[in-house]
Amino acid sequence: MSADDFLKHYNKPGFCDNCGEKLVDKDDKFCHSCGKNFESNEMPEENNTKIIIGSIVLIAIIIVGGYFAYSTYQTSEFDKNYKNYMANTLSSYENLKSGNDVYVNEYSSIYTANYIELAINYNNLAIDDLEECKKYAQTSEEKELIELSLNLAKKNEQYLDASYNFWEKASSITYSSNYIWYGASSSDSSQLTDYYNQAEKYSSEVEDLRNNLAEFLDNHPELKERFDM
């Protein structure tokens, strides 16, 4: 045996440098586990195919996993913002109710106006919540829910603005006249009437939009249950 052959024989590794499997014999030309050819340093065609397929499967798993993770995030953000909308809408309604309850006579109209101003602020927050929520809508049902809710919130904004204008104007008349509303000028009375009629009109339209939203939720019980409505 030549010196070169001797070195090749005794320097040959006892483990496969590809898969780490222990060799049966140091003279093995192929790995019995992965099939690597130690003389040519090549992998068998079948093994290369397995590696390619494995890589494709791994990439597919990463893509699918990423999609579901992103979808879950979208749903979470949608639900969070819609629930914020519901909470702010409830606060708006409670302040509107308090404004109506606090009214005793013309002199308390200023307190009614203050409560309605708070209701407007909460309603504006509710609209912001819906605009943010719209970014995360994925299904056609979610998109329709946002559209109906936005229509309702924006119409409610008009109703609250008209109501505030009425009570704020009523308060200014009350505190600037010894005759309260009955001593108001014709222009003031006309303005009060306009605000009142606007509020009545918007109130009716709000009720129609609220019924539309309720009907939609009745037809989509999964959304109704999802948001506990």
Structure confidence at residue 186 (pLDDT)? 76
Give the rounded distance of the alpha carbon of 166 from its chain centre.
36
CB 185 within 8 A of CB 191: no
DSSP letter assigned to residue 23? P
> Could you tell me the pTM of the whole model?
0.70
The length of the chain in residues reads: 229
CA nearest 168: which of 197, 195, 205?
195
pLDDT for 56? 72
Among 48, 213, 218, 222, CA closest to 147: 213
> pLDDT tens, position by position, for the chain (229 residues)?
454 554 454 444 566 766 766 665 656 666 766 766 655 555 555 555 665 666 676 666 666 666 656 688 899 999 999 999 999 999 999 999 999 999 988 888 999 999 999 999 999 999 999 999 999 999 999 999 999 999 999 999 999 999 999 999 888 887 665 555 556 677 888 888 999 999 999 999 999 999 999 999 999 999 999 999 8
Handedness of CA 97, 118, 107, 197 (dihedral sign): negative
Contact by Cβ (8 Å): 214, 152 = no
Question: What is d(CA 145, CA 136) in angstroms, rounded to the nearest whole number?
Answer: 12
Distance (Å, whole) CA 151 – CA 182:
37
